[in-house]
Amino acid sequence: MITLMIILMIWLCWKIFKGIFSFIIPLILIVIGLKLFFGLWWLWLVLFLLLGGHRYFQGV
């Protein structure tokens, strides 16, 4: 459920800002929030979603 919320936040940020540079700023805020609340393993998960999901979001 939490992973689904993360994906939704990333997708919404991508749709709202529609650019990789302005997309990084809210993503960094999400990463910091997850790091504070859930620990470092969420940070690596979000980074993986960014690197692996960026190509997917470009195609949407």
0.95 cut: is pTM over it?
no
17-43 per-position pLDDT tens digit: 666 656 676 777 777 777 776 666 666
Nearest to 30, CA basis, from 56, 57, 49: 49
Share of the chain above pLDDT 70, in %: 47
- Domain holding 50, by residue range, is 2-59
> Confidence band (pLDDT; 50, 70, 90) for 9?
confident
What is the 3 state secondary structure string of the chain?
A: CHHHHHHHHHHHHHHHHCCHHHHHHHHHHHHHHHHHHHCHHHHHHHHHHHHHHHHHHHHC
Report how many domains make up the chain.
1
